[in-house]
Amino acid sequence: MVDNLVSISSSGRIHAADGVNHSRRVSEGEIRETLVRLEDEIAAHRPVVPPEFPRETYLSYLKDVRSHIGVARHPPVSPGRRASFRRILATYDGPVLYLFNRLALAVHAGESIRRLPEKKLPSEIQDLVDRWFVRVFEDFERQPDRYYSLHNPDFVYDLSVCCMNTIPVGGAWGVHVSRAGLGPLRIGIPRQPLAYLAYLLFHAGGWGPFCVIHTFGRYFPRINCGTMDEAYLRAGELMRRNPRIKGIYRRSWMLDPALADVSPHLTYMREVPARHGARFFRCPTGISDIRGALTLSSTRRRLYELGKYHPTAYAFVWPRAAMLRWAQEKK
């Protein structure tokens, strides 16, 4: 996946509010020491870890993970692999998987770190990726076992970055390359599914690939208009150098137009793409959308309890040409 992302470049600052030592990178020696330590931990838990655990199969499955949504719905692509993956989760969920999930992070991060020089990432993105890896390795010493659960979105995004399926682009965001989402097709709004398909075909040039934007919950404090623009600019540079990418796709409760009255400080999330050529579509709203909207704001929570606000998810498609025009003007 990193081959689709190697041309990201950056303009703007990189934020340091993550408790990470930014003066170093993860060394080969640190990778080896961590792998030895994790293998020793697994050996020490032999009464818990059954000898028949499909270790290599499981680690290869985790390499396909891109987001916590993917874990829930379709981690490995083929039906056979998907069924096998889910059998492993159902059989071993708990302490056994926590051990192997930690090992998976170290194994896949080590492989990615060794390959990074040949990818020739722009220095700013290289710095962001290096910082992510440093934090992951430092977390091995400070995170509780339950952190390494596939039910924890923070861990899943660690895994996705360590496998180079997702690339951090600054602020609270990362991107991976994929097709547009199916959400706008799965809601009972008359004519929207047809309008969505028509927009993808006639305005965006097809179903994909798109730069799909994800929000990292651990970095919510970094969210503001400036960091959002910086992330868009980095994604725009990616598209400029990769003609296959048809634009940006994003889905979030933060794109809800109702926030203009409820949380006006978040309206820039919608206004920037809306003013510069993006088209919005309503999506089914899930429990995670409601939880995210209410957890982060006592005002939204109070209005929700009064029946005056209901979190609603929207997606936008920002076609390549329109997005790059905005990026050029912004620069």
| Measured distance CA(155)–CA(67) in Å, rounded | 10
pLDDT digit string, tens, across residues 228-269: 999 999 888 878 878 999 999 999 999 999 999 999 999 999
Burial of residue 36 (CB within 10 Å: 0-12, 13-18, 19+) is exposed
Q: Which of helix, strand or coil describes residue 220?
A: helix
Fill in the DSSP letter of residue 94: T
| Measured distance CA(38)–CA(140) in Å, rounded | 9
Tell me how many degrees the CA angle 92-93-94 measures, rounded to the nearest 5.
Answer: 110
pLDDT at 70: 54
Token pair 């689709």 in the structure block, residue: 4
Do 265 and 309 form a contact (C-beta atoms < 8 A)?
no
| Measured distance CA(288)–CA(296) in Å, rounded | 12
Domains within the chain, CATH numbers bracketed:
22-165 (no CATH), 175-330 (3.40.630)
pLDDT digit string, tens, across residues 24-35: 789 999 999 999
User: How are strands ordered across the β-sheet holding 279-282?
Assistant: 167-170, 173-178, 210-215, 247-252, 314-319, 279-282
pLDDT at 5: 45
pTM over cut 0.75: yes
Model confidence band, residue 37 (pLDDT cutoffs 50, 70, 90): very high
Highest mean pLDDT among 52-61, 159-168, 231-240, 317-326: 317-326
| Cβ density class 6-34: b for 16+ within 10 Å, e for less | bbbbbeeebbeeeebeeeebbeeebbeeb
Evaluate the CA torsion angle 219, 225, 227, 231 in order and state its sign: positive
Q: E strands within the chain?
A: 167-170, 173-178, 210-215, 247-252, 279-282, 314-319
The average pLDDT across 166-184 equals 93
Model confidence band, residue 67 (pLDDT cutoffs 50, 70, 90): low
The average pLDDT across 287-314 equals 95
| Measured distance CA(61)–CA(42) in Å, rounded | 19
| Measured distance CA(324)–CA(148) in Å, rounded | 38
Q: Report whether pLDDT(284) > 60.
A: yes
Q: Report whether pLDDT(16) > 80.
A: no
